[in-house]
Amino acid sequence: MVSVRTFHRFAAREGMAPGDPAVHVRPPAIPKRLPKALPYEDVERLLANAGDLATSEGVRDRALLEFLYGTGTRVSEAVGLDVDDIDLDERTVLVTGKGDKQRMLPLGEVAAEALSAYLVRGRPPLATRGRGTSRMFLNARGGPLSRQSAYGILSAAARRAGLDGRVSPHSLRHSFATHLLQNGADVRVVQELLGHASVTTTQIYTLVTVDTLRTVYATSHPRAR
């Protein structure tokens, strides 16, 4: 569509055509799609299969996935964390997002416990294999964990959990936002937690499926029962 409009505009400007017949043609509107969120039961299965807690890598994997779901951070934000960004005493984490904008996020009890276990039992053995880095999450060679490796960790956990379909780090971010809203969180609070510049971006999570509408209607309307 863009190519056709550009060609006709060029032809009219260069005198190759008497006018631009495509001037009133508009590209089709892209429909809004609901973010893919996992049911909470699937998230529990996923986290339960995060990794072998008898290994340093398994402790790391559990901490990473608990952190992603517990904070709703982007995977790039998670792998970019430094150890000093996390305060386990205050249960907070300083996250650097898009445009180097920083936001302070709370850490839930389960995520904080998983991170504490990783700092004590997981990270030190991994760190001895590398040359020293301040990054929180390390790979098997002691260097900073990459986004691709984080994706592989999640995909492996999803396979072990028997989850169908493609599960990505963004699935946990979507699930984080959706589960908060389903349990009564204010959309502007969720906006701050996700680091969205505009609440319009966050409002897509407030869209509900026809099945959800039908369920609410059936249980709430006096004439629907």
Q: Is the pLDDT of residue 184 over 60?
A: yes
Is the confidence at residue 168, as pLDDT, over 70?
A: yes
Query: What pLDDT sits at residue 213?
Result: 64
CA–CA–CA angle 95, 33, 153 (5° rounding): 45
d(CA 116, CA 47): 16
Note if 170 is an active site residue: yes
Q: Are 158 and 46 in contact (CB under 8 A)?
A: yes
- What is the number of other CB atoms lying within 10 angstroms of the CB of residue 64? 29
Catalytic annotation on 101? no
**pLDDT over 90 (residue 23):** no
Which of 196, 160, 203 has the alpha carbon at shortest distance from 178? Answer: 203
**Strand (E) positions, 25-89?**
86-87
As a whole number, mean pLDDT of residues 75-90 equals 96
Q: What is residue 1's predicted lDDT score, i.e. its pLDDT?
A: 86
Secondary structure E strands in the chain: 86-87, 92-96, 102-106
Clarify whether 173 is annotated catalytic: yes
Q: Which one is catalytic: 5, 36, 160, 170?
A: 170
pLDDT at 207 over 80: no
Decide if pLDDT at 215 tops 80.
no
Report CA-CA distances (Å) from 140 to 23, 60, 128, 137, 149: 57, 10, 10, 10, 10
Check residue 68 and give its pLDDT: 96
CA distance 216 to 214: 6
Q: Spot the catalytic one: 8, 173, 174, 179.
A: 173
Q: Kindly report, residue by residue over 59-74, the tens digit of the pLDDT.
A: 999 999 999 999 999 9
Backbone angles phi, psi at 173, to 5 degrees: -65, -45
Residues 74, 123, 135, 179: which is the catalytic one?
74
From the DSSP assignment, how many helices (H) and strands (E) are in the chain? 11, 3
209: tokens are 């499926």
Residue 145 token pair? 């964990």
Average pLDDT, rounded, for the chain: 89
Instruction: Categorize the per-residue pLDDT at 27 as very low, low, confident or very high, splitting at 50, 70 and 90.
Output: confident
* 119-142 pLDDT per residue, tens: 999 999 999 999 999 999 999 999
Is residue 118 annotated as a catalytic residue, yes or no? no
Burial class (CB in 10 A: 0-12, 13-18, 19+), 81: buried
Residue 9's SS3 state is: helix
pLDDT score at 76: 95
Q: Given a cut of 70, is residue 162 above it in pLDDT?
A: yes
φ, ψ for residue 28, nearest 5 deg: -65, 145
Per-residue tokens: 208: 């509900």
% pLDDT > 70, the chain: 93
Look at residues 155, 65, 74, 153 and name the one whose alpha carbon lies nearest to residue 110.
Answer: 65
pLDDT over 90 (residue 214): no
24 is known as an active-site residue: no
Supply the pTM of this predicted model: 0.78
| From 62, 123, 174, 196, the catalytic residue | 196
Q: Is 98 a catalytic residue?
A: yes
177-191: average pLDDT: 88
- Active-site residue among 98, 129, 141, 188? 98
pLDDT at 225 over 90: no
